[in-house]
Structure 1
Amino acid sequence: MRKLILFLVFLKISDCYFGSQEDDDCFCQLQGKIDDCTCNVDTVDHFNNVKIYPRLRSLLQKDFFRFFKINLFKKCPFWQDDSQCGIRYCHVEPCKENEVPVGLKEKDDKRLKLENKYVKDADCKHGIDNKLGEINTTISDQAREDFALWSAYDDAQENFCLLDDFDEDSNYVDLLLNPERFTGYKGDSAHRIWQTIYSENCFRPNGKFNSYIQSHTLNNMCLEERVFYRAISGLHASINIHVCAKYLLRESSFKYPQGEWGQNLEEFHRKFSPEMTNGEGPSWLRNLYFLYLLELRALQKASFYMEKEEFYTGNDSEDWDTRLAIKDLLNIVRNFPHHFDESTMFKGHVQAKKLKQEFKQHFRNISSIMDCVGCEKCKLWGKLQVQGLGTALKILFSGKFDKIGMDDNTSKKNFQLLRTEIVALLNSIGRLSTSIYELDEFRFILR
């Protein structure tokens, strides 16, 4: 029976590629110009699959990016959370002390060491101490620490999500040992997460409240509201593609001790085909491309800042390789000619400022909702990708990255990104890049 269903799914979706009278009813709609952007789907496909995906796949294996500190034990702040997943594939095993690179632990003793060495090492002649140095060149070490903490506090006000890597219950997790894939977590608990995100935290056209916004109504929203929705919808689509591409096909056995994982065409059809999604599936996939361009633009905007990072873990040879790989990736990203243009957003005065605050507050709420996810592994990747998107929004809309350039020696003194923010941003782009690559794999199978 399962083989028959898969065969029917194959016939339905493959109509796109062999030509049929139902071309308007299938994934052929995933083509042409990406909404609210300046380039086409096929342009992104080629750029990502040929240039970005292979580089990110290699880079994210490096220790700097594979260890992520996170608090998986925060209580849900919105409802009683009694839905902890008991499936063994949901479990996340935190790293043991001796498994974490020594360089990461060295910077973990105090909040003052939040990847903030430029502030920490500043003296009376540089950065925040400069004016004070003209008055008092004997400023104490304690005062320096206070200034650094004030700087970190000021930067935190620009955050679009809540960071918890310095919570008492936070632990390092090895992302390579806990890959994002289908865990069996589904049903009412999982549905409530997305229902709450869409119905209570996305801007709504005409005051209508439903689990998602119909694509034909988006023109009734302003650009900023559309951007917010497309970003959340794109994240949702990306996560669903990961689930379909790494689906548990067979439980653990002697032949497959970790279970058999692979592509599930039936699940892909259920999540994205027009007939199963009230015609919205192709629009959700297009939103994936939109989010990819948005986060790629953030990486491009912060690229000169990133190049000044040391990516320190304590392993000199690997740290050297990481810096070279980052420079190579950033050079490719900078040369992409069709970046998202954030400069058209939040124009005006009082109303624009209010809208920006609402935009930020909605996203902060979504970051808190991630603590309500009942599956540990889903929570891990949900929090990481939301934090990555939040970091991208911070880069794009804080205004502090607008003038950073190759010769700007003050950029790191004026604005900081924590290590966890950098790790989240690169892994988040990595997840989007993988989704676009996997989407091409689904296309190939269904030809």
Structure 2
Amino acid sequence: MRLKCNVLLVFLLSASVAQCNYFGSNAAKNDKCFCKLKGSIGDCSCTFDTVDYFNNMKIYPRLQSLLVRDYFRFYKVNLKQECPFWADDSKCAILYCHVQPCLDEDIPVGLKGEIPHHIHMNESPADKYSADSQLSNCQQTARDHNAELGYLNTTISSENYKEFERWKQHDDAQDNFCMKEENQGEYVDLLLNPERYTGYKGPSAHRIWRSIYMENCFRPENSPHIFIQTSKMKGMCLEKRAFYRVISGLHSSINIHLCSKFLLSAQEGMNVVSPGGQWGPNLEELQRRFSPETTGNEGPSWLKNLYFLYLLELRALAKAAPYLHREEYYTGTEVEDEDTRLAVKDFLTVVEAFPGHFNESFMFSGGVQAQLLKEEFRQHFINISRIMDCVGCEKCKLWGKLQVHGIGTALKILFSGKFDKWEHTVTATNRKQFYLERSEIVALVNGFGRLSESIYELDRFRQMMR
């Protein structure tokens, strides 16, 4: 009898693992689970299994070693920017909601007093960031002028200079998908301010997502729900559907981060977490946020959108790889900088080798109407970047702004038309030439790192459910 029971037990266990890992204990009732993420991701050519293996085995380990390097761990952000849409007096529920900016002595010397690095494209890092190199072109010309030679007047009137600046600002504005901050803000060490559960919820948090989904996402007619139902997305054009999937994928990724680093123990009283608070995976919270039973069968589709956003940013990294290979990743520490360049090169080589990148050429390719839609697309995303200043939790605001900045940079790379044939030579007539600021590169790589970790954490939750 015992032998028969053991055989039956082994059979049941093997059957449950072979079929899938369910949300909940009742397998007959809960027939939706992570393993339903099979087949094509949709609007892309590759499968979930392909992305899981590629990310978990190749991308995630490389990103973990890359994002701890000084160039990528320090992010300059303005967390004091006022909300432009409404007055928000919400406060975070726990101590760990707050962000501690870096002290001046903690910031690598090469990141202080940043200058536009493309001015001296072909110079070595040491020459580029020297005091002499930071002189304006006119100052440099005046200093090097030989008095014995005939003087060539190369000065520009202040009126013309202002006009040139306006031209540049206009050209730059056409490329950007995020609102540039008026104040540059302060440096934050991302490793000391990790993204995790903070207790920020309620009306303030709901208003953020409601404003994003209801007022800034393209929506089908007669769609009263905050989230667009999967059945209604099929009637939307690719561009509008992609916009919603990007936002939904970001939302899913953030939720997975909060579930994987959930507050498991806290000091009782006054909603204040003790310094000994512990964070870890919370499977029940993940079930609540993504289970078909609690999401009207939409949870698995939200997870699919995470993969869609992952492929979109992966494509942006591959498209920008020729530019990123030439970036110096300068922080002022020679050995650190060389190691960072080698790590980036290794990472980009793997990114470029992926066979199923997102194909952006199908979007905004229908003439005048397509260009109007592209501008509407861009303005909607700029609004979302401004909404991030309305988040009432500092740490949530930090990671929200960084990840939206990363997506905005990816969209800039994909749809500005200026990376389609990138050339490093600077010419006066090449008006399609443009450069990524350091903050854009940091946001792009860290934002992709967040998506990579979300997919990796999903696999860990699958193992927990086994």
Shorter-chain TM range is 0.7 to 0.9
Q: TM-score, normalised by structure 2?
A: 0.83
Alpha carbons of structure 1 residues 17 and 303: separation in structure 2 relative to 1, 3 Å: farther
The 1:207/1:137 distance shift into structure 2, 3 A limit, reads: farther
**How has the CA–CA distance of structure 1 residues 101 and 228 changed in structure 2, closer, same or farther, with 3 Å as cutoff?**
same
Equivalent residue of 1:53, what SS? helix
> How big is the shift at 1:20?
4.7
Q: Quickly say closer, same or farther: Cα 1:351–1:150, change in 2 above 3 A.
A: closer
Unaligned ranges ≥5, structure 1? 1-9, 108-112, 125-135
Shift of 1:25: 2.7
Displacement after TM superposition at 1:156 (Å): 3.5
Q: Choose the corresponding residue for 1:314, options 327, 332, 335.
A: 332
Q: 1:240 to 1:115 in 2, by over 3 A?
A: farther
Partner of 2:85: 78
The answer (yes or no) to whether the contact 2:83–2:387 under 8 Å persists in 1 is yes
| Cα drift, residue 435 of structure 1 | 0.3
Residue 451 (structure 2) aligns with:
432
In the TM superposition, residue 142 of structure 1 has moved relative to its aligned partner by 9.4
Q: Structure 1 residues 85-94 or 19-28, which shifts more?
A: 19-28
Following the alignment from structure 1 to structure 2, what is the Cα–Cα distance between the partners of residues 167 and 275?
A: 45
Alignment counterpart, residue 396 of structure 1, candidates 407, 414, 419: 414
3-state SS of the aligned residue for 1:156?
helix
Q: Deviations over 1:180-210 (max 9, x none)?
A: 0001111111111111100000000124232
Are the structure 2 counterparts of residues 103 and 214 from structure 1 closer, same or farther at C-alpha, using a change threshold of 3 Å? same
Q: Residue in 1 aligned with 2:7?
A: none
- The match for 2:425 is 409
User: Match of 2:279?
Assistant: 261
Q: Name the CA distance, whole Å, in 1 between partners of 2:407 and 2:170.
A: 20
* Contact 2:409 2:440 (C-alpha < 8 Å) held by counterparts: yes
How much does 1:79 deviate?
1.2
Residue 331 (str. 1) matches residue 331 (str. 2): no
CA contact (8 A) 2:266 2:277 kept: yes
Indicate if the aligned counterparts of 1:66 and 1:174 stay in contact, CA closer than 8 A. Answer: yes
Q: Is the 8 A contact 1:250 1:259 kept in 2?
A: yes
TM-score (norm 1): 0.86
Residues 373-413 of structure 1: CA deviation (Å, up to 9, x unaligned): 000000000000000000000000000000126xx534999
Once residues 169 and 74 of structure 2 are traced to their aligned partners in structure 1, the CA distance between those partners, rounded to angstroms, is 22
Distance 1:309 1:67 in 2: 17
Q: Please give the alpha-carbon distance, in whole angstroms, between the structure 2 residues aligned to 1:185 and 1:327.
A: 38
What's 1:158 paired with?
175
> Does residue 445 of structure 1 match 2:461?
no
> Using the alignment, how far apart are the partners of 1:349 and 1:231 within structure 2?
24
Maintained 8 Å contact 2:93/2:200: no
Select the residue among 52, 73, 83 that pairs with 1:66: 73
Q: Does 2:317 correspond to 1:299?
A: yes
* Aligned residue number for residue 111 of structure 2: 104
- Per the TM alignment, residue 141 of structure 1 is displaced from its structure 2 partner at its CA by 9.3
Structure 2 spans left out of the alignment, 5+ residues: 1-15, 122-127, 139-150, 269-273
Range with bigger deviation, 209-218 or 423-432: 209-218
Deviations 1:106-161 (A, max 9, x none): 31xxxxx244434797979xxxxxxxxxxx97535999997688546522331001
3-state SS of paired residue (1:261): strand
Q: Indicate which of 268, 277, 283 corresponds to 2:295.
A: 277
- In 2, the alpha carbon distance for the partners of 1:368 and 1:324 equals 35
8 Å CA contact retained: 2:177, 2:381 = yes
- Write out per-residue CA displacement over residues 288-326 of structure 1, whole angstroms, 9 at most, x where no aligned residue: 000000000000000000011111111111010010001
Do residues 247 (structure 1) and 262 (structure 2) align?
Answer: yes
State the distance in 1 between where 2:366 and 2:260 align.
43
Q: Secondary structure at the match of 2:421?
A: coil
1:160-239 equivalences in 2 (<5 Å): 160-164=177-181, 167=183, 170-239=185-254
Q: How far apart are the structure 2 equivalents of 1:395 and 1:322?
A: 22
Query: Quick check: 229-238 or 17-26, which moved more?
Result: 17-26
- Change in Cα spacing, 1:86 to 1:27, as seen in structure 2 (3 Å) is closer
Deviation at 1:80, TM superposition (A): 1.4
Counterpart-to-counterpart distance in 1, 2:294 and 2:83? 31
Does the C-alpha gap of structure 1 residues 61 and 117 become closer, same or farther in structure 2, counting only changes over 3 Å? Answer: farther
Aligned partner of 1:345 in structure 2 is 363
- 1:5 corresponds to: none
Displacement after TM superposition at 1:433 (Å): 0.2
Cα pair 1:89 1:184 within 8 Å, conserved: no
Identity %: 59
Map Cα deviations across residues 87-109 of structure 1 (whole Å, 9 max, x no partner).
211100111111111111031xx
Aligned residue for 2:175, secondary structure, equals coil
**Higher Rg:** 2
1:162 alignment partner AA: M
Equivalent residue of 2:258, what SS?
A: helix
